[in-house]
Amino acid sequence: MKEKLEQLKAEALRQIEASDALEKLNDVRVSFLGKKGELTSVLKGLKDVAPEERPKVGQLVNETRAQIEEVLEAAVKKMEKAAREAQLKAEVIDVTLPAKKNEVGHRHPNTIAMEEVERIFLGMGYEVVEGPDIETDYYNFEALNIPADHPAKDEQDTFYISGDILLRTQTSGTQVHEMEKGKLPIRMLAPGRVFRSDEVDATHSPSFHQIEGLVIDKHITFADLKGTLAEFARELFGEETKVKFRPHHFNFTEPSAEMDVSCFKCGGSGCRFCKGSGWIEILGCGMVHPNVLRMSKIDPEKYSGFAFGMGLERIALLKYEIDDMRLLYENDVRFLKQF
């Protein structure tokens, strides 16, 4: 038995000596020390050894194992060290070379404008929410008091996925989602993407963005709407900004209005920017129609509210004096870098 072990050890050491790669050392480990390895099979043969001899032979097996392990470990360490040294030699780093310039990107003008609008309304206690890009006819039209066959639907001719499912034409459906949650009061701002089958030109795109606002509480009046939106305009375009409300029609508000701001370029005297009128149209708004409240299970006798919606691109174009909407989508770095 002793001889057998000596032989095994000598063979293991010879193989370790001959190994020129870590994988080969691992093979040696498996074939001698592994579960099905040579030493293990010697241990299994222990039952044939006379009982009084067993402890001695067992100890001998363990010693042999320890010796092989030790030599193997040393060989592994040596080989790893050599590999690391070779790698360090191969990868020379010249620390005197100038560093690579790190190009840091920055926000898109649409994003800058959106975050500016959000900042203003967050400051007034609004919450920012999001609605789905794909809507059912109910949320996009019906629940906003736009019944089937109403001409207001034609104006927003859009992309239908099926008879009842469409890419939303306005963020106003988010109002309904928010009201349906059943938590009052509501002060929400809902920015998002909308879609209409419009031809591309300097002021139109089949996909653009809107920012929707909704407030529902007890005793909300048109005075709240005016005060809020006037303050918004002053924060966005400057302290001197005046606002004017023109009567308009939206199905989901009554009364409805469009809000103009005094031209921040000429201060209202008329210039190329405001096409000589002194005013710039900025958003649609109104008092939430009682039908809309009722459809979303809110009692119009107890609650009232106002809503507004604006085009994000329009705000970005105005604020940064960009004269073609297409520039916002072309991702030309020379353009984007300017903001």
Binding site for ligand DAH (CB under 6 A): 170, 172, 212, 250, 253, 284-286, 307-309
Q: Which is nearer to ligand DAH, 23 or 154 (CB)?
A: 154
Q: Which is nearer to ligand DAH, 110 or 251 (CB)?
A: 251
Q: Which is nearer to ligand DAH, 172 or 241 (CB)?
A: 172
Q: Which is nearer to ligand DAH, 27 or 137 (CB)?
A: 137
Q: Which is nearer to ligand DAH, 32 or 126 (CB)?
A: 126
Q: How far is the CB of 334 from ligand DAH (least distance, A)?
A: 32
Q: How far is the CB of 214 from ligand DAH (least distance, A)?
A: 7
Q: How far is the CB of 238 from ligand DAH (least distance, A)?
A: 24
How far is Cα 92 from Cα 96, in angstroms, rounded to an integer?
12
Kindly report whether the peptide bond that precedes residue 255 is cis, defined as omega within 30 degrees of 0: yes
Helix residue ranges per DSSP H, 45-172: 54-90, 109-123, 137-140, 151-154
Q: In sequence order, what are the residues at sequence separation of 6 or more whose Cβ sits closer than 8 angstroms to the Cβ of residue 31?
A: 37, 38
Q: Which is nearer to ligand DAH, 109 or 284 (CB)?
A: 284
Q: How far is the CB of 91 from ligand DAH (least distance, A)?
A: 59
* Residue 173 burial (C-beta neighbours within 10 Å; 0-12, 13-18, 19+): buried
Q: Which is nearer to ligand DAH, 37 or 309 (CB)?
A: 309
Q: How far is the CB of 111 from ligand DAH (least distance, A)?
A: 21
Comparing C-alpha atoms, which of 315, 104, 325 is closest to residue 205? 325
Q: How far is the CB of 284 from ligand DAH (least distance, A)?
A: 3
Residue 128's alpha-carbon distances to 109, 114, 144, 228, 306, in angstroms, are: 19, 11, 20, 16, 16
Say how far residue 191 (Cα) sits from the centre of its chain. Answer: 14
Q: Which is nearer to ligand DAH, 170 or 241 (CB)?
A: 170
Q: How far is the CB of 294 from ligand DAH (least distance, A)?
A: 17
Asked if 65 and 37 touch (Cβ cutoff 8 Å), the reply is no
Q: How far is the CB of 266 from ligand DAH (least distance, A)?
A: 27
Angle CA(309)–CA(312)–CA(314) in degrees, nearest 5? 100
Alpha-carbon torsion 145, 151, 156, 157, what sign? positive
Q: How far is the CB of 148 from ligand DAH (least distance, A)?
A: 18
Which residue has the closest beta carbon to ligand DAH? Answer: 309
Q: Which is nearer to ligand DAH, 158 or 253 (CB)?
A: 253
How far is Cα 168 from Cα 156, in angstroms, rounded to an integer?
10
Structure tokens at 54: 């067993």
How far is Cα 72 from Cα 53, in angstroms, rounded to an integer?
29
Asked if 182 and 160 touch (Cβ cutoff 8 Å), the reply is no
Look up residue 37 and give its DSSP letter.
S
The packing angle between helices 54-90 and 2-18, to 10°, is: 0
